[in-house]
Structures are given as C-alpha cells and as structure tokens.
A and B are shown apart, each in its own frame.
Chain A
Amino acid sequence: MVHDSVVRIGLVLPDVLGTYGDSGNATVLLKRLEWRGIRGEVVQLGVGDPVPNSLDIYLLGGGEDRAQTLAVSHLTEHPGMQQAAANGAVVMAVCAGLQILGEDFTGSDGVTHGGLGLLDVRTTPGSSTRAVGELLTLPDKELFADPMTGFENHQGHTQLGASARPLSRVVYGTGNGEGHDGAYQGHVLGTYMHGPVLARNPAFADLMLTWAVGSPLAPIDIPAISQLRNERRRAVQQMANRRKRLLRF
C-alpha cells in the first residue's frame, strides 16, 4: 500500500491480549525496518483508547476467554482496525487474537461469541488436552518459502471457511487441528505460533513489512536467527524420532 515516511505499527490491546512475549513481534518489525533505514513507530492501543484507522500494521496477541470477549466488544465499538484492514492494512494475530478475528469462537464454557469477521474461520474447543509444544509448518507457497517454527499453547480447534486460506501446513505439532496452522485472507494473517513468532520467522516478518511498505525490501542475513531456526528444527526432528514419527515436508 502507499505509505509515507513512517511505518506505523499498532499493538492492539496489549493490556488484555498480551500473553507471554507477544509484544516482541512489534520489536522485531521495528528493528527490521530500522536495519533497512526505514522509520517505524509502535503505537500502544490499550483498553479504552480509540483505535485509529490510519496505521499500517496491527498486531494482536494471546489471552484468555474473558480477554477475548472484552477485546471483541472494544474493537467493535472502535472499528478503526477493521476499517484499515478493508483498505489493505496488515493485521497479524496470534492464538486468541486469531480466534477473535474469525466469524465466531466458542469458549471453554461452551458459549459462542461473535468475532470481528476479518477471517473466515470458526473456533471451537478442541480435544480435552491442550496443544502445547513446538510447532513446525510449511507456509502457503504464495506467501514465502522458509518453513515456519514456533511454540503453541492452546486448546482451540479452528476450521476455515471458503474465503480463508491456511497460512501453513503442519509438519509437527497441532496448529488448527486439521493439518494446517492459522489462516490468511488478503493482508489479514493469523497463527497459533504464540509469543514472538516473528523472531523465529524473519520471512514472515518481511512479508508483512513488504506489504506495508509497498515495495520489495533488501534481504537481511542475521546468523543468530539462522542458528536458532536450525536448532529448533533439530529439536523437532529429535522429538519426532523419539515418537517414531516421520516428518512430512
């Protein structure tokens, strides 16, 4: 999309949707802009604050059931993010944030709540055991090539409707519960890789930044990130070996 000199990143409701390192995604985006000489700015949008429709990127984190319903009612009352998304702004949500972007979601108490309708997905409580652990996936080829690595901790089972596409195919872990992880629809993205998913997946971060800036970005090679990605991939391989499971790439 067309944009001026500063990329503006909104951290949406970090006071209620901000479980465990989720704000790290804003840190990653800001730094990757800075390293390329592009100015960025993070705007904290707390409960009670109006949500501007002028930002380039909106980030949503994880949280509990009650935080989800609170977030939906706040964002419905202040629909700046939905207006921006309709104009092509980037929205990226993890875990509970992914669920509230959908058509509806059912909490652990069995009550179904309407979502924000930015993604054609529906979430229900999954099996009785939580999905907790490393998640390794292959992204949709339309997006980027590098495998995605992350950590999931949730109980939701997310089903995609016709308008949403899976963000990635699960190689190891649970994800949505149907063989894929997350969803995307235009520039709206969601994943069960919680916390600082962008720290481990620079290609994912750069996809979002490319959309926001509107032109290709210079590649950045950071050996520490490649090392971490390789290490996590090896750890997943070892876990699969112990469980005598073949990883399907």
Chain B
Amino acid sequence: MVVGGFGNLMAESVRVDDRWLMDRASTGVDEVSTAQGGDLPARTAAAVVAGNLAAKLSKVAGGGGGIIGGRVTLALDPNALGRLCRDRTVALVTGTNGKTTTTMMLARAMSVLQPVATNHSGANMPDGLVAALSTDQAAPLAVLEIDENYLPKISDAVQPAVIVLLNLSRDQMDRVGEVRHTERNLRTAIARLRDTTVVANCDDVLVTSAATEADSVIWVSAGGNWRGDSTSCPRCGMRVHVCVTDGTVTDWYCDCGFRRPTPTWAVREGLMTTPSGECFELALRLPGSANEADATLALAAATHLSVPLKPALDRIRTITGVGGRYTTVSRNGRIVRILLAKNPAGWAETLPLLREDTSRPIIIAVNGREADGRDLSWLWDIPFEQLAGRQVLATGERSADLAVRLTYAGVQHTHVPDPYQAIDGVDPGSVELVANYTAFRDLKSGLSNGA
C-alpha cells in the first residue's frame, strides 16, 4: 500500500522529486504542508512555519523579524528558496544601483495581473528573499531584488522567467572585489539558464557583456551618466570606442567585434519609446534620469510578462518614494530632502538633481562601515569640483576623508562630523542631504523618529 501511495502522489504532480518524497516519507508532517504551503514540500513547509514563528518572536523581542525568519527557514531547508518559487512566475532585479526602486516599480506593474510577493525592504540576500516569499505564499507572482553577487546562486535555485539587469559599476571593492569579476560571474550564471529572458541596459558595456549570454534578451537603451567602468572591453580588455551625441551615448564598440546591440526600448529626457515605436511621457513623481531608466526597464520586463503597458505605467507613476529616498523630512525649520548615493555611478545621477535649485545648501554624509565598504577611495571618482560655489557641509563617520576630497576639489565647505548638528547648522529652509548606505539608513530612521 505504501508503494501504491507514492505512485499516486507521483501521478498527481510531475514536479515531485526524490528529496520531496524522502522528506514526506520521513518527517510525516503532511498536515503542516497542506495547512501552510498549498503544495509546498513538507520539509519546506515545516521550515517556513519555523521561520515565520522565529520572525514573530524576533519582532516581539524588538528585532526586525523577517531576516531571522528567513535564516531559520534556510537552516532547516537549504533548498527552501527554489521550492518557494517553484509554482510562481519569478522576475529577479539586479545590478549595482536602482535595484530597490526597479523592484518596487516592477512589482507595482505586475500587480495589474495578480498578487505579487516582493522583498520591498531591500533585504536582497537569500535569507531576505526566503522571508519575503514565506510571508506571502499565496501570491502567484514574485518580483525579487537580488544582490548582484548572489545572483548566480539564486538564479540557479529559482530559474526565473525574467532577470532585469540594470547597470554594473565599481562599488564596495574591498568587500566584493572588482566589478569586472562580478560581470564574469553574472555572465556564467546567465549562460547556465534556459528559457530565461534578460531585460538589459545596452548602454552599459558590462551589462551587455553579461546579458549577451542569455537565451533571449530584450535590449533597453536606458542611458546612464557614469562611464568609468565602460572604458575597456570586458571581452578582450582593449579600449571601448564610445559614440556620444549631445552628451548621450548613441553607440559603442570594441575592435574585437563586441558592440552595442540595437535596443527595442529607449528612454531620453522623460520620453520612452516602445518596440512598436510609440512614444510615452513617463511623468514619474520620482526625480531624475536614473528613475526614468529604471521605469523603462521595469516596463519592458512587465510587458514581456503580459502586463498591458498603460496600466503598468499608471501603477509605476503612483510611487513617490522608495524606502525613504527622495522624501523630505522636517527638522527645526529645515526641510531636508534625503538622497542616497553610495558609489561614483550613484553620484553621477545625483549631481544633476543637486542643480535643480542651486540656492539649497548641500550636506554630504559619508560612513565607512562594512556595508558601505571601508575603502573610501571612490570619493576620488566623483567630480565634486561641480559643487564649487555652493554651500557644502561634510558630515558622517568618515567625513574627514570627504573634507580632504572637497579641499582638493576646490570646494569650500564646513566639516561637521555629527549629521544632526550639520542640519541645524544651515539656515532654515530647503536643504539637500546626500548620504551613502548606512549614513542614509541611520539618518532616515533618525529624522523620521524626530532625532
């Protein structure tokens, strides 16, 4: 009878694998499986229950909850990620900058069709993903932000329908190594996938190199102001020739034959062109060309997954802030707009935003913790010279490094290590606050809690 029982199970589902059978046979927690996870394998279901319980306990104890839960689940079932994605249509979003924003945009767009599970807290490593998927098991769609250095492991486990590849540039080199190494890992991972469509920014040389290996690619001309990592060819090492018209990259190529593919989507100055040649004004409420690039990539991915374009764009337009980015906070009569810029490419998109109102003081907050990268050399790849003549304050735990950089850039500035004192040090009115990762995170929560 036992054998017959297994036979019936196998007939019911073609996705049953041996491990699933072993788990089911050995643990005997079928009830849990049915109650919690629909048709999740028992081991995964039990692991998810334990993880969700741990998350609740952690929240009660004053912790963040989610990631702890994800860790517990993964410890009990190392394959939980793949199993939690097995019955969903999954889109992964990765790249150096804009992951959180694009993930939110794509999740909003996909929600036109069906409920979407997403890691909107920006927890983009396996534990964070498992946490997000565990708390939203019924959603048939998943849009997941992935740390670019974890993509190979995660895409192997998840076998996504779509990967959105935004951009690749130097970031936290002391922790993750050179971006060219990251590109090679992505390239290998993408080459292993079958039936995955990659939506990629063809104006980014490194992104193009990685995405070219995919079975199917949708090329998007999404632009980008940072070209410091596109100077030499990722395929042969020689110089990449770049054609620039009116400050915009229109083509690039290497003598080895590697060159920019022809895009089917494009965006310039707020106007997006679709594959059918239709033109739309994006009219986002988020500022700047980086958000327009992210929106176009999200829309290309969404329409590939059968979301009608216009409702998708309408949903994206509802976004006014992403995890505290671009939002303004008041403190003692200062109206502070908080911007995140954590590497040279991020700064290349931020500098134009700072030109919107040149009367505003600019506070720059720099930390150098593990999550920021302890090496502050990247400050020297940012053309701070452009801020000459503005009122600038250097703040944060590594503001001494910034003060030296600003000195050599010829930018007069005040050095106030404490960021709250820096804010109070400018005249009441609007002020720009640009912070790198942990400085941004701490100030965002500190300012919204009235610190």
Contacts and interface: CB of A to CB of B under 8 A. Distances in A.
B360 interface: no
Contacts of A199: 380, 404-405, 408
Contacts of A84: none
B375 A151 contact: yes
Nearest to A222: B407
6 contacts: A15-B231, A20-B381, A70-B237, A153-B173, A153-B174, A224-B407
Contacts of B180: 64
Interface string B165-201: 0000010011000101100000000000000000000
B178 A21 contact: no
A66 B231 contact: no
A228 interface: yes
A196 B380 contact: yes
Nearest 10 interchain pairs by C-beta:
A195-B377, A24-B380, A21-B380, A21-B377, A15-B231, A47-B239, A228-B400, A224-B403, A196-B380, A66-B237
B285 interface: no
A149 B451 CA distance: 35
B401 interface: yes
A24 B406 CA distance: 12
B238 A194 contact: no
Most buried by B among A47, A67, A133: A47
Given A151-B174, A199-B380, A225-B404, 7 more contacts: A20-B378, A23-B381, A24-B380, A47-B239, A133-B374, A195-B380, A224-B400
A31 interface: yes
B377 A194 contact: yes
A70 B238 contact: yes
A231 B170 contact: no
Contacts of A228: 400-401, 403-404
Contacts, number: 95
Contacts of A227: 400, 403, 415
Contacts of B405: 24, 199
A200 B375 CA distance: 13
A42 interface: no
User: Main SS of the interface on chain A?
Assistant: mixed
Interface residues of A, number: 37
Contact of B408 (A31, A48, A132, A151): A31
In this complex, the interface size class of chain B, counting residues with CB under 8 Å from chain A, is 20 to 34
Contacts of A134: 374
A20 B172 CA distance: 10
Nearest to B173: A20
B127 to A, nearest CB: 24
Contact of B231 (A16, A195, A196): A16
A224 B411 CA distance: 13
A80 to B, nearest CB: 18
B232 interface: yes
A153 B231 contact: no
B352 interface: no
Contacts of A46: 231, 239
Contacts of B170: 19-20
Nearest to B408: A31
B17 to A, nearest CB: 36
Interface in A103-139: 132-134
Contact of A20 (B181, B232, B377, B408): B377
A225 B403 CA distance: 8
A173 interface: no
A195 to B, nearest CB: 3
Interface in A181-227: 194-196, 199-200, 222, 224-225, 227
